[in-house]
Amino acid sequence: MQKKVLPILFVTLLIDTVGIGMIIPIIPIIFTDPNSPSFLLHGYSQSGQYFIAGILTALFGLMQFIASPILGELSDVYGRKRLLTLGVGVLAFSQLLFGFGVEIASLGLLFFSRAVAGFAGANISIAQASIADVTLPQDRAKNFGLIGAAFGVGFILGPLLGGWIAHVTGDAASPFWLAGIFGIINVLFISFFLPETHTEKTERRSFTFLRGIHNIVAAFRDVDARPVYLTSFLYASGFVFFTSFIGILLVSRFALSEASVGTYFGVAGIWMVVTQLFIIRILSGRYRERTILLWSFPVVAFALAVYPFVPRIAFVYVLLPFFAVPQGLSMANLGALVSRGVSSEKQGAALGINSSLFAFSQGVIPLIAGVSSGAIGIQAPFIAGAVLIVFAWVVLFVAAK
């Protein structure tokens, strides 16, 4: 079943990510570039623009935080395919809603659509659980790399398409009509081609929207797994500082257009694909997860700290592989460490917990980044991110011992 499931999940996640990625070059333009005809925040100060951009980004992560453990556990009970199909369909609806919100310049509708998208986008925990269903423990880092590869290709096509479509049409809403169509195609693709991977359903149990909080409490009560969960949270938080404000840095410091921002993320995606499809498969056959993380964390932290101080855009591209390659290695191997720590019948719940930690950081960190960049400067989120990744390294390799 593995040979059939993995390519289908790759395509599913790829289509999802292309649609999600289209928003990346749009947010900096509509919220922080007064020279753009699509700018929506006339009359707001720069710090206010940063704060609103942070709120919108955070809302997506906050809803993922609520939904990830629920969807992960529901998929243990009702099956992966059913929940994945529902999530993809709702995500398509949210993309169309966001486009309409941009068209009519409604901040309220933009916030609502991102909340819906965050809830539906939490189906990444279901995809991870499906991979774990059909993969041997020693192969999970390699196969989880397929998720990273799908995100990598998505980050090539999504921001490129989003940025260039908005640039050519002169309408920031245009990319989201295409994203919605992609989502509808994805629903049909899953319905016809994806087999159910979790055939032995667990018993029904009560669910709560506070499951994310309960999971975090449970994660840090588990003495054996606590260092890995804490490491994952700290690393994810550092990474989110970067992702939530790199587009804004490129626009505010180098005056890039939406097409140029999309091109930057496209190049970043190429490095992610190379990492997930080739580099990680070579290294995972020779080294254990912890050995790879020992070296990948410090390189990511260094690159993150240097980003806001480079003098020209050319140096941003020179620095990019030193961030993207170790980042891809880190995410895949962290997921594998979490998966190794639980039994097969709890894969959905455990990976849902890990997704909750990542989503919690996505729900909190952009707010902090928005406030700190407005008060201190655009460099603040990147320095804070580097510090958190250093802390993650200390927890995993020093404190845990």
**Per the structure block, which two tokens stand in for 98?**
């966001």
- Is residue 101 pLDDT above 90, yes or no? yes
**222 assigned to some structural domain:** yes
Residue 137 DSSP code: G
At 157-210, the pLDDT tens digits run 899 999 999 999 989 999 999 999 999 999 999 988 888 877 765 655 565 666
The predicted model scores a pTM of 0.81
Residue 28 maps to which CATH number?
A: 1.20.1250.20
For the chain, how many residues are written?
401
| pLDDT more than 70, % of the chain | 88
User: What distance in Å separates the CA atoms of residue 219 and residue 80, rounded to the nearest whole number?
Assistant: 23
Confidence of residue 344 (pLDDT cuts 50, 70, 90): low
Average pLDDT, the chain: 85
Q: Which range (26-40, 51-65, 307-321, 335-349) has the least confidence? A: 335-349
pLDDT at 208: 62
- Is there a domain that residue 228 lies in? yes
What's the burial of 317, exposed, middle or buried (CB within 10 Å: 0-12/13-18/19+)? middle
Residue 294 lies in a domain: yes
**Confidence label for 346 from pLDDT (cuts 50, 70 and 90):** low
The CA-based dihedral angle spanning residues 16, 83, 67, 9, taken in that order and rounded to the nearest 10 degrees: -40
Q: What is the mean pLDDT of residues 253-260?
A: 90
Residue 201 lies in a domain: no
Of 75-89, 280-294, 329-343, the range with the lowest mean pLDDT is: 329-343
If one compares 269 and 235, the residue with the highest pLDDT of the two is 235
Q: Is 288 exposed, middle or buried (0-12, 13-18, 19+ CB in 10 A)?
A: middle
Q: Is 380 a domain residue?
A: yes
User: How many structural domains are present in the chain?
Assistant: 1
Run of H or E residues at 17: helix 2-21
The verdict on residue 253 lying in a domain is: yes
| Tokens standing for residue 222 | 């588990």
Question: 296: domain range?
Answer: 2-195+212-399
pLDDT of 4-19, one tens digit each?
A: 788 888 888 888 888 8
Q: What is the pLDDT of residue 359?
A: 77
Q: Helix, strand, coil % (nearest 5) of the chain?
A: 80, 0, 20
What average pLDDT score do residues 376-399 get?
92
- In whole angstroms, what is the distance from residue 100 CA to residue 176 CA? 8
In angstroms, the CA 237 to CA 65 distance is 13
Amino acid 53: pLDDT: 93
Q: Which of 151, 198, 215 is nearest to 354 (CA)?
A: 215
Alpha carbon separation from 129 to 56, 196, 252, 265, 339 (Å, rounded) = 28, 11, 39, 28, 9
Quote the pLDDT of residue 130.
Answer: 84
Q: With contact defined as beta carbons under 8 Å apart, do 123 and 84 qualify?
A: yes
DSSP state of 256: -
Separation CA 399–CA 296 (nearest Å): 18
Q: What does the pLDDT look like over 31-58, one tens digit per residue?
A: 998 888 889 998 889 889 999 999 999 9
Say whether pLDDT at 116 is over 90. yes
Q: Which of 59-68, 254-263, 319-328, 389-398 is the least confident region?
A: 59-68
pLDDT at residue 13, rounded to an integer: 87
Per-residue confidence (pLDDT) for residue 184, from 0 to 100: 93
Checking if the pLDDT of 99 tops 60, the result is yes
CA-CA distance, 114 to 94, in Å (whole number)?
7
* Structure confidence at residue 280 (pLDDT): 86
Residue 18 sits at the vertex; the CA angle it makes with 13 and 21, to the nearest 5 degrees, is 115
pLDDT score at 209: 62
pLDDT in tens, 120-143: 887 777 887 888 788 777 676 677
Token representation of residue 106: 């409604």
The two structure tokens encoding residue 243 = 């992702």
Q: What is the pLDDT of residue 73?
A: 75
CB of 194 closer than 8 Å to CB of 8: yes
Predicted confidence at residue 144, as pLDDT, reads 73
Q: Which of 370, 365, 158 is nearest to 249 (CA)?
A: 370
200 part of a folded domain: no
Helix/strand/coil for 34: coil
Does residue 351 surpass a pLDDT of 70? no
Inside any domain, residue 203 = no
Q: How confident is the model at residue 401 (pLDDT cuts 50, 70, 90)?
A: low
Q: What is the pLDDT of residue 36?
A: 85
pLDDT: which is higher, 237 or 228: 237
Confidence at residue 335, expressed as pLDDT on a 0 to 100 scale: 77
pLDDT band at 400, cuts 50/70/90? low
Write the DSSP string, 302-349.
Answer: HHHHHGGG-SSHHHHHHHHHHHHHHHHHHHHHHHHHHHHTS-GGGHHH
Give the pLDDT score at 282: 87
Q: Which long-range contacts (CB under 8 A, 24 or more apart) does 294-298 make?
A: 294/393, 294/397, 295/326, 296/326, 296/327, 296/329, 296/330, 296/333, 297/235, 297/326, 297/330, 297/389, 297/390, 297/392, 297/393, 297/396, 298/390, 298/393
